[in-house]
Structure 1
Amino acid sequence: MDRIRSAALVVNTQSRTGQDQFEQACAAMSGLPFDVAPNPVDDPAKLQETMKRVMAEKPDLLILGGGDGTISSLIDHLVGTDTILGVLPLGTANSFARTLGIPLEIEGAVDVLRTGTPRRIDLGMVDDDYFANCAAIGISPQIASTVPHKLKRWFGRAGYLGWATLQFARFRPFELIVGEGADAKRMPATEVRISNGRFHGGVELVEEAQLDSGEIIVQVVSRNGRRGLIRNWGASVLGLESRRDDTVTFHARELRIATNPPLPISIDGEVLAETPITARIAAGVIRVMAPPQPERASQKAQP
């Protein structure tokens, strides 16, 4: 493992569990073999300013505490640097941490900072905006743009799912266009997942996605309207083979994506863009402290 001599912790204490768990995180990190400079941020508007100040010190390890949206919004600051990212999952879904195999409890996540190894990973991009895990078109942006912030804080994942059910009743399918010109593919869609990682909303949905694959995965729930979307989510939660029945998947380094009508796009849970966009992969642009990788099936196979 790279020797860590300096580390900084930036915590969004306005995330669902950030304020309550900040002191617990600091206590857990007191046993690390390097000092960690804490930087709690209680005003999300000051996160970018805090990151610029912290990164100016060029720490060996930058630990981000918060949810997927917090991590994704700040991850641009690590691109092009030698600083290793550490993840302290304090959000609702914690999909990026799940994709990396990082434990969701504070002690387990801190233990990865102690015993893990730096892993070089890809980031996804929507136009010029980097993201960590997954962007989405469809019901997810509708939920993300309307869910009351305190609902997530008070009721967590259960509250989020309840709000999602309400928004789903108001949702309508749309036309998706992938590519440009004569080769463009058109299809009806209820959800589009632009994925760098496997998890979305805390559920493994895009199992083909790998953080070091060098390609962006666009998975489309295309068949049977809202019924197909319900079936796909249910089958994904239960791990059933039928989760693939209603989906179409595209693999590429770069894809042009449009919808009719134009629709908002949520990027790791935050609505930050609108179609049409170009989705692409930025291969191997950052390093993250992660648990040892399990051997992949292809590596296990014997000749």
Structure 2
Amino acid sequence: METKPLPKDAVLVINTHSRRGQDNFAQAREKLEAAGVRLIAAHAVDDPEQMAATVRDAVASGAPLVIVGGGDGSMSGTVDELVGKDCVFGVLPLGTANSFARTLGLPLDLDGAVRAIATGKRRRVDLGMIDRDYFVNAAALGLSPQIGQTVPHKLKRYLGRIGYLMWAVKCSVGFRAFRLTINDGQVERRMWSTEVRILNGPYHGGVELSDHAAVDTGEIVIQAVVGRSKPRLAWDWYAKFFKLRHRDAHTQEWHGTSFRIDTVPRQRISIDGEVLARTPVMVKVAAGAIEVAVPDEPRSETC
């Protein structure tokens, strides 16, 4: 079946609070128009809490393509507005980790991302769900939410992933393992864990964590770092960052369409970098929920 071409009329919405959003709003607008994308409207949003309402208004106005610029939190916080709508999602990766863009094979530079929107193609992809909240890429419980909730904005803005790493070392001092229960409706599993990743795609924090998670499988992947050891958790991130041979030695994975996750004690959950939920939760996949703009040819992964 032939796929419809990408729309040429669009609304641009950029989170200027994201790492590179403020610097790149004017450039993005100029480059999109120069590439042949006709902007019906362009919004530089200073308050991240207004991103969803701005995108909602753009979709309601009939825009066939809504381009969102920001980090993974901006994507996750606005994607709900496109579910079930005849509107394509365009991604400008202007954040720190840009995990969703990496998953889609999008260039991480502005010129490349604009080119993908102007000359690329549509791709229908899955979304994850935590209870009734959609997310684009990954959610996590354990140390990651503590980092995401407390990391200073300036540290994240100017040092990027290195800033996250520095703050992770600080946060790990008082962190403790927790009892994890995972139920897929047939089998209930119990174990100690230091971190759980709920993956719609392979990346979390800009690091490729799973060889099996993807946005078009119709399944969600639950990955747990098992045991009570904090050094083991640190080694897991190190091994996955550098793609070492035995990088999966301390993790277990489960695949499926829905899971119930509970912990003792209760754990906060970061959803694409924003702390928005607490256990217990239902985790689901929303198969083929939205269409996104992607390059005709996926980019090669670089550090």
Shorter-chain TM-score: what band?
A: over 0.9
Bigger CA drift: 43-52 or 268-277? 43-52
Partner residue of 1:301?
none
Which residue identity lines up with residue 128 of structure 1 in the other structure? R
- Distance in 1 (CA, whole Å) between partners of 2:138 and 2:211 is 12
- Distance in 1 (CA, whole Å) between partners of 2:294 and 2:186 is 43
- Distance in 1 (CA, whole Å) between partners of 2:99 and 2:43 is 23
Give the alignment partner of residue 17 of structure 2, picking from 11, 14, 18: 14
Give the alignment partner of residue 292 of structure 2, picking from 264, 288, 291: 288
In the TM superposition, what whole-angstrom CA distance separates every residue of 1:269-301 from its partner, at most 9, and x where no partner exists?
Answer: 00000000010100001000112366xxxxxxx
C-alpha deviation, 1:230, in angstroms: 1.5
Matches within 5 A, 1:162-241: 162-179=166-183, 183-223=187-227, 225-241=229-245
- Distance in 1 (CA, whole Å) between partners of 2:125 and 2:184 is 29
Partner residue of 1:59?
63
Partner residue of 1:136?
140
- Distance in 2 (CA, whole Å) between partners of 1:134 and 1:161 is 18
C-alpha deviation, 1:155, in angstroms: 2.7
- Distance in 2 (CA, whole Å) between partners of 1:244 and 1:223 is 14
Matches within 5 A, 1:80-91: 80-91=84-95
C-alpha deviation, 1:184, in angstroms: 1.3
- Distance in 1 (CA, whole Å) between partners of 2:97 and 2:6 is 31
C-alpha deviation, 1:154, in angstroms: 3.0
In the TM superposition, what whole-angstrom CA distance separates every residue of 1:109-145 from its partner, at most 9, and x where no partner exists?
Answer: 0010122110000000000000000000111001011
In structure 2, relative to structure 1, the CA distance for the partners of 1:3 and 1:148 (3 Å cut) is closer
- Where structure 2 has 5 or more consecutive residues not aligned to the other structure, the ranges are 299-303
- Following TM superposition, the consecutive aligned residue runs of length 4 or more in structure 1 with deviations greater than 3 angstroms are 180-183
* Residue 44 of structure 2 is aligned to residue 40 of structure 1: yes
- Distance in 2 (CA, whole Å) between partners of 1:189 and 1:293 is 39
* Residue 98 of structure 2 is aligned to residue 94 of structure 1: yes
Check the 8 A contact 1:10/1:39 in 2, yes or no: yes
Check the 8 A contact 2:192/2:228 in 1, yes or no: no
Partner residue of 1:278?
282
- Where structure 1 has 5 or more consecutive residues not aligned to the other structure, the ranges are 295-303
- Distance in 2 (CA, whole Å) between partners of 1:150 and 1:103 is 25
In the TM superposition, what whole-angstrom CA distance separates every residue of 1:186-226 from its partner, at most 9, and x where no partner exists?
Answer: 01101100000110000000221010000010001104621
- Distance in 2 (CA, whole Å) between partners of 1:272 and 1:106 is 29
SS in structure 2 at match of 1:256: strand
Percent identity, aligned pairs only, is 49
Partner residue of 1:76?
80
Which residue identity lines up with residue 137 of structure 1 in the other structure? L
- Distance in 2 (CA, whole Å) between partners of 1:10 and 1:209 is 28
Partner residue of 1:149?
153
In structure 2, relative to structure 1, the CA distance for the partners of 1:14 and 1:181 (3 Å cut) is closer
Check the 8 A contact 2:196/2:225 in 1, yes or no: yes
Give the structure-1-normalised TM-score: 0.93
* Residue 5 of structure 2 is aligned to residue 2 of structure 1: yes
In the TM superposition, what whole-angstrom CA distance separates every residue of 1:38-96 from its partner, at most 9, and x where no partner exists?
Answer: 11111223222212221111211110000000110100000001101110000000000
Q: How many residue pairs align between the two structures?
A: 294
- Measured on the aligned residues, the alpha-carbon RMSD in Å equals 1.5
C-alpha deviation, 1:240, in angstroms: 1.5
Bigger CA drift: 41-50 or 7-16? 41-50
